[in-house]
Amino acid sequence: MPPPAGGVARGSGRSFGLASRYPLVPITILMIVLVIPSFFADLIAPHDPYAASVPNRLEPPVFAGGTWEFPLGTDRLGRDILSRTIHGAKYALSISLVGIFLGTILGTAVGLAAGYFRGWTDRIVMRVVDVSFALPSILLALALAAAFGSSFEGVIFVVVFVLWSYFARQVRGEVLSLRERDFVARARVAGAGHGRIIFRHILPNVMNTVIVLATLQIGVVIILEASLSFLGIGIPRPTPAWGLLVADGRALVVSAWWVSLIPGLAILLTVLSVNLFGDWLRDRLDPKLRQR
Amino acid sequence: MSKFFLVRFSEAIVALWAITVIVFALTHLSGSPVDALLPDDATPEQAQMLIEEWGLDRPLLVQYFTFLGNVLQGDFGDSLKWRGQTAMGVVLDHLPATLQLGSFAVLIGVVVAVPLGVLAAARKNSAIDTSANVLALLGQSIPNFWLGIILVWLFGVTLGWLPTSGRGGFSHMILPAIAMSWFQIAALTRLTRSAMLDVLDAEYIKLARIKGLGERAVVWKHALRNAAIVPLTYFGVLAGSILTGSVVIETVFAWPGIGWLAIEAIRGRDYPVVQSVVVVFAVIYILANLLVDLLYAYVDPRIRR
């Protein structure tokens, strides 16, 4: 692993206290590439991401002989790649947050019910989870795109489909052992109903696992969304989503390599930082997940 | 033992059945199946024939069973884009290309990842361990479609060493196979490393060392044989990543396999071909997983219960 500030180094040197407590490098990269562009795209982006300008088509980036007018070059229609990549962050962030939020809630709820009530609920839920595991997401994405065309809802649906069974399985496993613990028995003796036991006594104990798993999935989801968009079965054109931006450059790789390179770097940096951050969070909150 | 087989087998059947339900439901939810399954310039007589053949004027449940019956015979109707061929025929024509690329990618993955994982575990915290860790992290973080384009740019365009797209000789296969195996190398290295670390702590390894066996024999013979079982379970997951990979990578490199075919068919609104690809993919994936589970149970008696 490259030596990012923090991450692994623990408690070494008091002067680096802050740096070793928080993984500063991944957080900084995430702020610069993903979070700030998502919220302030209109303020930061030097050009309109949709504005075509034919005289300026296929301008190279400034470090490859271009001008500061278009610092990272332009695409086939003369649209500014920096601006399009900045606006693309919005879609990566919003799709992954919404998808993970819905998938986590659905999976956690199902896992809680299956682990707590056991019996038939558990058996049926786990069968559905198994079948859902047995279906690769790409098949669903292909079938959905063929039937309805590409859409935001379709991407979110695929993301939720990928995530829910994963969360359901993990949460169920934890709940199965939690429900046998003393504090649950005591709550029951004190007259707590099923709802209260599940939400007040069991849910808080699985929250750490859920948060860590959700963080570790962000990278997976961003790559999934970008892949679907790249294939033309994800976010519809002409939205400047990162996967679509990379796809724009595929046919131009002989003459204009920067069209694909720049948005792809944005994906790479984002996913790399999210993964580093997720690893740090897992070690912090839920070290037992490490053995995998 | 027989119960284990029975449970796994019925699970596989249920998963396949679920795919047929999804495919059937999507055809109907998206509007009239007649529109989805026939070209735009179809005559009313053709529409009438289709309606009769697939029983589209009957109740939905009857329609489903007609559909299921046709699917079981491999009949998905005629391709709309590749005129004069059945949808299944088009898919079967493109299947060998996918299998060829996929198996080459798996081969690269195993040949690179297993030795790397073993070395990383045998020399924990050495330079080789660190680079294996970096590789694993990069493998998870680099999108494979982008890697494919960058490889084309570097080795195809700038250096001019390898062809950039299409299917031809062996040299056409190198770049797509590397792009496809990239993620697998990362995952398999990590898995082999952690499995080896577990095994190297075991008593029988200590015994082998006490007996005076050389380090090489201990690691590569005694430890690897026992650790190899863990990466084996991963091959089921691998089958999934190869399916996804084949759609993405075949599209990047214009490699004429069924992943590329699926995307072309979606662009050409050729619904019968998409349906056939989805079902063929599902069959391959589910069979691969079933096979891995059975193999695993055969190798490791502890999980047959």
Judged on CB neighbours under 10 Å (0-12, 13-18, 19+), A57 is middle
Q: Where are the beta strands (DSSP E) in A30-150?
A: none
Backbone angles phi, psi at B78, to 5 degrees: -95, 150
B191: Cα separation from own chain's centroid: 18
Rounded mean pLDDT, B142-160: 89
Q: B156 is written with which tokens? A: 């195809």
Distances from the Cα of A178 to the Cα of A119, A181, A188, angstroms:
16, 5, 13
A136: Cα separation from own chain's centroid: 18
Distances from the Cα of A285 to the Cα of A208, A210, B95, angstroms:
6, 10, 46
Which tens digit of pLDDT belongs to each residue from B244-293?
Answer: 888 999 999 999 999 999 999 888 888 889 889 988 888 888 888 888 88
DSSP state, residue A70: S
Backbone angles phi, psi at B86, to 5 degrees: -80, 155
* Angstroms from A117 CA to nearest CA on chain B: 23
Rounded mean pLDDT, B29-43: 73
Residue located via tokens 């947050």: A97
Rounded to whole angstroms, the Cα distance separating B68 from B34 reads: 17
Rounded mean pLDDT, B32-45: 74
Q: Is the pLDDT of residue B192 over 70?
A: yes
Judged on CB neighbours under 10 Å (0-12, 13-18, 19+), A256 is buried
Rounded to whole angstroms, the Cα distance separating B251 from B280 reads: 18
Secondary structure (DSSP) of chain B = -HHHHHHHHHHHHHHHHHHHHHHHHHHHHTS-HHHHHS-TT--HHHHHHHHHHTTTTS-HHHHHHHHHHHHHTT---B-SSSTTSBHHHHHHHHHHHHHHHHHHHHHHHHHHHHHHHHHHHHTTTSHHHHHHHHHHHHHHHS-HHHHHHHHIIIIIIIS--S--SSS-STHHHHHHHHHHHHHHHHHHHHHHHHHHHHHHTSHHHHHHHHTT--HHHIIIIIIHHHHTHHHHHHHHHHHHHHHHHHHHHHHHTT--SHHHHHHHHHHTT-HHHHHHHHHHHHHHHHHHHHHHHHHHHHH-GGG--
Average model confidence (pLDDT) across chain B: 83
> ipTM of the assembly?
0.83
- Asked if B145 and A275 come within 8 Å (Cβ–Cβ), the reply is no
Rounded to whole angstroms, the Cα distance separating A259 from A276 reads: 27
Rounded to whole angstroms, the Cα distance separating A271 from A221 reads: 9
Distances from the Cα of B130 to the Cα of A119, A246, A278, A280, B193, angstroms:
46, 31, 19, 17, 12
Q: Name the residue among B250, B247, B120, B256 with its Cα closest to residue B185.
A: B120
- Asked if A257 and B252 come within 8 Å (Cβ–Cβ), the reply is no
For an interface test with A, the pick among B98, B135, B142, B146 (most A C-beta atoms closer than 10 Å) comes out as: B146
Q: Which of A143, A148, A230 sits opposite B23 (nearest CB)?
A: A143
Q: Which residue has the higher pLDDT, A104 or B81?
A: A104
**Residues of chain A below pLDDT 70:** 1-20, 287-292
A257 vs B contacts (CB less than 8 Å):
153, 157
Class of domain A26-291: mainly alpha
Rounded to whole angstroms, the Cα distance separating A268 from B142 reads: 5
What are the structural domains, with CATH classification, of chain B? 87-304 (1.10.3720.10)
pLDDT at position A13, please? 40
Q: Where are the domains of chain A?
A: 26-291
pLDDT at position A22, please? 75
Name the pTM for this structure. 0.85
Q: Is the pLDDT of residue B142 over 80?
A: yes
pLDDT at position A290, please? 58
Rounded to whole angstroms, the Cα distance separating A252 from B49 reads: 45
**Amino acid symbol at B234:** Y
pLDDT at position A292, please? 42
DSSP β-bridge partners for residue A80: A74
* Angstroms from A90 CA to nearest CA on chain B: 18
Backbone angles phi, psi at A74, to 5 degrees: -130, 165
- Helices marked H in A118-136: 119-133
Which tens digit of pLDDT belongs to each residue from A89-108?
Answer: 999 999 999 999 999 999 99
Q: Name the residue among A85, A90, A82, A84 with its Cα closest to residue A63.
A: A82
How many other CB atoms are found less than 10 A from the CB of residue A198? 20
- Asked if B130 and A227 come within 8 Å (Cβ–Cβ), the reply is no
- Asked if A135 and B15 come within 8 Å (Cβ–Cβ), the reply is yes
**Are residues A166 and A106 in contact, defined by beta-carbon separation less than 8 angstroms?**
no
Q: Is the pLDDT of residue B9 over 60?
A: yes
Q: Which of B274, B285, B289 sits opposite A143 (nearest CB)?
A: B274
Q: How confident is the model at residue B295 (pLDDT cuts 50, 70, 90)?
A: confident
Spell out the residues 6+ positions from residue B304 whose beta carbon is closer than 8 angstroms to its own.
Answer: B1, B4, B297
Spell out the residues 6+ positions from residue A78 whose beta carbon is closer than 8 angstroms to its own.
Answer: A52, A53, A54, A55, A56, A57, A58, A59
DSSP state, residue A202: I
Give the count of alpha carbons within 13 A of A164, CB side only: 24
Q: Is the pLDDT of residue B4 over 80?
A: no
Rounded to whole angstroms, the Cα distance separating A20 from B228 reads: 37
Residue located via tokens 């046998």: A180
Nearest CA in chain A to B266: A146
For an interface test with B, the pick among A29, A96, A124, A142 (most B C-beta atoms closer than 10 Å) comes out as: A142
Which tens digit of pLDDT belongs to each residue from B48-64?
Answer: 877 777 777 778 888 88
**Are residues B151 and B179 in contact, defined by beta-carbon separation less than 8 angstroms?**
yes
* Angstroms from B156 CA to nearest CA on chain A: 9
**Are residues B50 and B38 in contact, defined by beta-carbon separation less than 8 angstroms?**
yes
Q: B118 is written with which tokens? A: 């073993």
How many other CB atoms are found less than 10 A from the CB of residue A182? 7
For an interface test with A, the pick among B145, B267, B274 (most A C-beta atoms closer than 10 Å) comes out as: B145
Q: Name the residue among B100, B101, B82 with its Cα closest to residue B276.
A: B82
Q: B223 is written with which tokens? A: 């430890």
- Asked if B137 and A276 come within 8 Å (Cβ–Cβ), the reply is yes
